[in-house]
Each structure stands twice: as structure tokens, then as C-alpha cells.
Amino acid sequence: MKTKATLLIAGSLLAMATAASAGNKAQSFSLSPVIGGITFDGKQHLETAPVYGLRAGYNFTKALGIEALFDYSNSEPTAFHGRGNGDVDFYRYGGELLYHFFPDNNFVPYVAAGYAGYNIKGDVPAGANSKTKGVADYGLGAKYFITDNVALRGDVRHLIYNNNDRTLHAIEYTMGLYLPFGGVTPAVAAVEPAPAPVVEPAPAKIVEPIAAPADSDGDGVPDSLDKCPDTPKGVQVDSDGCPLDSDKDGVYDYLDKCPGTPEGVKVDSKGCPLDSDKDGVYDYLDKCPGTPIGVKVDSVGCPLDSDRDGVPDYLDKCPGTPEGVKVDKDGCPEHVAKLCSPTVLDIKFDTNKSNIKPQYQAELKKVGEFLVAFPNAKGVIEGHTDSVGSKASNMKLSQRRADSVRTYIIKTFKIAPERIAAKGYGPTKPVADNKTAAGKQKNRRIEANFSCD
């Protein structure tokens, strides 16, 4: 049981009591919805469970009251008991007497004791039955009045009841609202005012009025000294009658939309620093003046250069260039050939073979480096043959060779597969006459056809 923790909480609540205008009223009614928990002793083999309840009360005096109560809880047997997983319902209905301490305060602690009936229904290891039995309770509580008609309340009760000739215990703890209505408001005794002292009137003196200096704009500086006449009413001025200009930018504080501008910085008519290229960075902070309108810039007003190649993103035709690679004015690597048109690759295959020989890997490196440098480039590897042999076998052979080149480039240079297609055309697209040996050699080729867009 958590008796020590309960008493500690109750003692803390009592220590918080402070005088205030709200408090308990005599002859008042109340309703209190509450929610909390109930912990059963070990004899009942029931899990700690939530509690939902309602209280209806009446205060005979500010200190003494009574409440009707109804509680409902749904628990289940503890796992170690092995009696099944059925729900257990606990009902309690009855009444309590309450005695309030400091009833005129905002914080009102009280003690309570009462008697009720209870039912336990369900798979209860301690012996469940639906017959109503008696349960006694006692405990502590406190109300904290937010207004005269709304208060928070907290309660702790020790429940004592019998079941199957055994005395059982439980601790119930709840929080809720206390909603009073009606009641007697104590009358405030009228205080007789002290008699006013009799004062003998002093002899009247005739005082000649002194004319105040003229102050046309009402700023507290006479017109004869005011260097800024017609200052709007309510505007703070200096000793010369001029509106304040705290940042010395030439725009009065009451008109300045950018107060605190560093001294010497040029500002517009609203007191804001100039931003000539409209990039959101003031000129006095802008290290890249003249940036074209619409170009994204960093905190110092310079166009973004995501791949750090020295060419701003809005001019970079090869974004994503690896760091450290030399680039041209377009941001593209200088040493990489732009394979943006059909290019014949110098690759030879053995008869009826598609494997790539080591001596041709340097040729394929050009394609791989191109695709790395131009991440937006996409295209197709084409395989072609001469007319020797059947068309069907040449179509298959050219497809195998194109696939072999595509696979090598993807794996070696880690290129996304969707960027490269492979297509075998066999003898259908000759570039020379198949009647000569030289022509046949030109027709046996691998072409790389990529777009740099």
C-alpha cells in the first residue's frame, strides 16, 4: 500500500493554503466529476485500475458538508494468479461527511469519512460475487478555487470492506472539478466613516495667473525654442523639440521601419539599408553586389555554388561536379569529352563473343567520366554488326555486346541504371559497304549516343 506517499501528498496540499476571496459557502450545492485510480491490496490479486466517478454535495455550514458518491472501475486479475484474463467491474455508491479547514480561503483542505455499498463482478481471484456489501472509507482532500464557482479538487481515500469473511483494503486517489452553486454569501459589515476634521478656511489670496509659454505642437518645448514645429502629438522629442533619431540615419524613430541601422549606412525613406540588387541582403553586407534578380544567394549576398567549383549554380551547366575537379566557364570538367552526339567507341570483340577485353577499358573510361561529370546526361549504347551470318544471330550478338558495355559502365562508374539503355541493331544500320573488308570493319562497332540536356 502507498500510505506514506498518500500522507505526503496530502501534507503538501495543506501547506499550500493561502487566504483569498473565494471559499466554501454555507447552504450551497455542488457537483464534482472525478477521475483517478484504485490500488487493491495483494489479497485480491487485482491490477491497479482507473476510476471514474461523480459526487453531489451540500454544505450545511462553511465547514461541514455531505456528499453522495458513485464510482466505477474496471480491473483484471494479476498475471501471476493464473485465473484467466476476464474483466472485473467494481461499483461503489454511498455518502461521506466532510469537514473543511480554512473554509474562507482559496485553498480549502478537508477530512472525509463515509460508508457505501459495493459490488464486484467478474473473474475475481479473491471470490467475485454481485451481492452488494458495505465498504467504509476515510481520507483527506483539498479544493483550490479558481473562481467563486469553479475549483480543482484532489482526494485520497482508504477503503475497508469484507468479502468471504476476509477484511480487504484499497486506496483510491482522484482529481476533478468542484462546481458549487447557490449558498449564502456573508454580508460585509458597514464601517462608519470617521468624522471629517473641521478646517478653518484660510483667507483668500488673489493670485495673478502666469501665462504659459506657447507650445503649438504640444511636445513640451516652447515655440520660441522648438526647432521642429508641428511634430505629431505623442512623438518623443529631444531638447530642441525634434523627434528622436536613435540610430542617426536621418529617419525619425517614429517613421523608422529598421531601427538600429549601423551609423553611416545609407538608408531609404523608411530608414532601411539599401538593397540595390533586391537579393534580400543589404548593400553594406552584400559581398556580391549586382546579383541578377531572382538568383538565390547565401547570407553574404553571393549566388549559391552547390558543387563549389567556382561557377554559380545559375550559370553551372554541369551541377554536381566532384570537388577539386577543374572546370570551364560553364562549370563542366575541362578534361572530360562531351559525348553529346553519336560517338563510335574503339572496342573490338572476338568472333561471336561479347566480353570486354582489358585493353579497351580506357576507351570506356571516357564514357564513365562523361556520365559522372554530366549527371543529367542520358542515352543508349548501340551494338552493330556487319552482314556476315544470319540477321537473327547478328541481332542477338549485337544486343549482347551492347548489354556488356552498358553493364561495365554502370558497375565500374556507379551510374544509375536508368540513365543508360542498350540496343542491338545487328546489320540494320551499316555506315559502310559490307562488300569490302574495310566496310565490314566499320560496321562492326559500338556507338554511345547521349544527350547532355
Last residue of a domain, one of 184, 205, 231: 184
The distance in angstroms from the start CA to the end CA of the chain is: 77
Task: Tell me, letter by letter, the H, E, C secondary structure of the chain.
Answer: CCHHHHHHHHHHHHHCCCCCCCCCCEEEEEEEEEEEEEEECHHHCECCEEEEEEEEEEECCCCEEEEEEEEEEEECECHHHCCCCCCEEEEEEEEEEEEECCCCCCEEEEEEEEEEEEEEEECCCCCCEEEEEEEEEEEEEEEEEEECCEEEEEEEEEEEEEECCEEEEEEEEEEEEEEEEEEECCCCCCCCCCCCCCCCCCCCCCCCCCCCCCCCCCCCCCCCCCCCCCCCCCCCECCCCCECCCCCCCCCCCCCCCCCCCCCCCECCCCCECCCCCCCCCCCCCCCCCCCCCCCECCCCCECCCCCCCCCCCCCCCCCCCCCCCECCCCCECCCCCCCCCEEECCCCCCCCCCCCHHHHHHHHHHHHHHHHCCCCEEEEEEECCCCCCHHHHHHHHHHHHHHHHHHHHHHHCCCHHHEEEEEEECCCCCCCCCCHHHHHHHCEEEEEEECC
Position 415 confidence tier, pLDDT thresholds 50, 70, 90: very high
C-alpha cell of residue 202: 484660510
Q: Of 430 and 124, which is predicted with more confidence? A: 430
d(CA 64, CA 87): 38
Position 405 confidence tier, pLDDT thresholds 50, 70, 90: very high
Q: Of 84 and 447, which is predicted with more confidence? A: 447
Contact, 112 vs 34, CB < 8 A?
no
User: What does the pLDDT read at residue 187?
Assistant: 61
Torsion of CA 123, 128, 134, 139, to 10 degrees: -40
Q: What residues have CB less than 8 Å from 119, skipping those under 6 apart? A: 89, 90, 91, 130, 131, 132, 133
User: What does the pLDDT read at residue 448?
Assistant: 87
- Residues 197-222 have a mean pLDDT of 74
Query: Could you tell me if 172 and 279 lie in one domain?
Result: no
Query: Could you tell me if 53 and 168 lie in one domain?
Result: yes
User: What does the pLDDT read at residue 345?
Assistant: 85
User: What does the pLDDT read at residue 160?
Assistant: 94
User: What does the pLDDT read at residue 234?
Assistant: 86
Q: Has residue 6 got a pLDDT over 50?
A: no
Q: Has residue 388 got a pLDDT over 80?
A: yes
Average pLDDT of the chain, as a whole number: 84
- Residues 150-168 have a mean pLDDT of 91
Residue 166 maps to a domain: yes
Residue 264 maps to a domain: yes
Position 10 confidence tier, pLDDT thresholds 50, 70, 90: very low
User: What does the pLDDT read at residue 338?
Assistant: 65
User: What does the pLDDT read at residue 306?
Assistant: 83
Last residue of a domain, one of 143, 168, 184: 184
User: What does the pLDDT read at residue 261?
Assistant: 92
Residue 277 maps to a domain: yes
Query: Could you tell me if 358 and 436 lie in one domain?
Result: yes
Residue 326 maps to a domain: no
Q: Has residue 4 got a pLDDT over 50?
A: no
* Alpha-carbon separation of residue 356 from 351, 394, 403 (angstroms): 12, 18, 11
Residue 82 maps to a domain: yes
Q: Has residue 300 got a pLDDT over 60?
A: yes
Query: Could you tell me if 430 and 285 lie in one domain?
Result: no
Query: Could you tell me if 296 and 356 lie in one domain?
Result: no
C-beta atoms surrounding 266 within 10 Å: 13
pLDDT tens across 79-106, in order?
Answer: 655 555 568 888 999 999 999 999 999 9
**Which range has the worst mean pLDDT, 55-59, 305-309, 396-400, 412-416?**
305-309
Q: Tell me, what CATH number does 111's domain have?
A: 2.40.160.20
Q: Has residue 344 got a pLDDT over 70?
A: yes
Position 54 confidence tier, pLDDT thresholds 50, 70, 90: very high
Q: Has residue 125 got a pLDDT over 90?
A: no
User: What does the pLDDT read at residue 350?
Assistant: 81
Residue 68 maps to a domain: yes
User: What does the pLDDT read at residue 336?
Assistant: 60
Percent of the chain with pLDDT over 70: 85
Task: Give burial (CB, 10 Å; 0-12/13-18/19+) of 185.
Answer: exposed
Position 115 confidence tier, pLDDT thresholds 50, 70, 90: very high
- Nearest CA to 156 out of 118, 116, 111, 117 is that of 111
Q: Has residue 14 got a pLDDT over 50?
A: no
User: What does the pLDDT read at residue 179?
Assistant: 95
Q: Has residue 16 got a pLDDT over 50?
A: no
Q: What residues have CB less than 8 Å from 166, skipping those under 6 apart? A: 43, 126
User: 139: which strand partners?
Assistant: 112, 157
Last residue of a domain, one of 184, 211, 240: 184
Total number of domains in the chain: 3
Query: Could you tell me if 119 and 263 lie in one domain?
Result: no
Q: What angle do CA 6, 9, 15 make, to 5 degrees?
A: 140
Residue 338 maps to a domain: no
Q: Tell me, what CATH number does 352's domain have?
A: 3.30.1330.60
Q: Has residue 293 got a pLDDT over 80?
A: yes
Quote the pTM value: 0.40
d(CA 313, CA 292): 12
Domain coverage including residue 99:
3-184
Residue 18 maps to a domain: yes
Query: Could you tell me if 48 and 157 lie in one domain?
Result: yes
- Nearest CA to 143 out of 106, 174, 113, 180 is that of 106
Query: Could you tell me if 298 and 373 lie in one domain?
Result: no
Query: Could you tell me if 49 and 138 lie in one domain?
Result: yes
Q: Has residue 158 got a pLDDT over 90?
A: yes
**Which range has the worst mean pLDDT, 120-129, 301-310, 345-354, 370-379?**
120-129
Q: Has residue 13 got a pLDDT over 80?
A: no
pLDDT tens across 226-260, in order?
Answer: 888 888 988 888 888 899 988 888 899 889 899 99
Query: Could you tell me if 28 and 112 lie in one domain?
Result: yes
User: What does the pLDDT read at residue 331?
Assistant: 78
Query: Could you tell me if 293 and 354 lie in one domain?
Result: no
Query: Could you tell me if 167 and 111 lie in one domain?
Result: yes
